Amino acid sequence: VQLVESGGGLVQAGRSLRLSCATSGFTFDDYAIGWIRQAPGKKREAVAVISSADGVVYLADSVKGRFTISSDKAKKTVYLQMNSLKPEDTAVYYCAVSLNRHQAMGIIPLLEEYDYWGQGTQVTVSS
């Protein structure tokens, strides 16, 4: 299983970025995929989670109304559209997948329950 993130970069506050998580090595039929970020000196936090059965199952309060998560089954890719970016969104963004059947049905994985992680992509928002 491989997860490869792309789309990060340096942007000004108020602008947008779209992150992509290209996946391989599993069928893309039963999964929960999350976007998790880690800012300098802070713990990792889940930002958004999508499951194969229920679609979007979680959006952090801090990003509701600004971020959306979506998936393209044909491309086996999950996206994180980030609008109205703020300096506090600056972090390394990781995508991670859980192949647990219950989580594929919509139960939100704990961070330690993800099976595979990507290498991360840096997002920096300047003020």
**25-68 pLDDT, tens digit each:** 998 889 999 999 999 999 999 999 999 988 889 999 999 999 99
For the segment 105-124, what is each residue's pLDDT rounded down to a tens digit? 888 999 999 999 999 999 99
Q: Cα dihedral angle (81, 17, 33, 78), rounded to 10 degrees? A: 80
| DSSP for residue 25 | S
One-letter amino acid of 17? L
Residue type, 71: S
Integer Cα distance of 29 and 25 in angstroms = 12
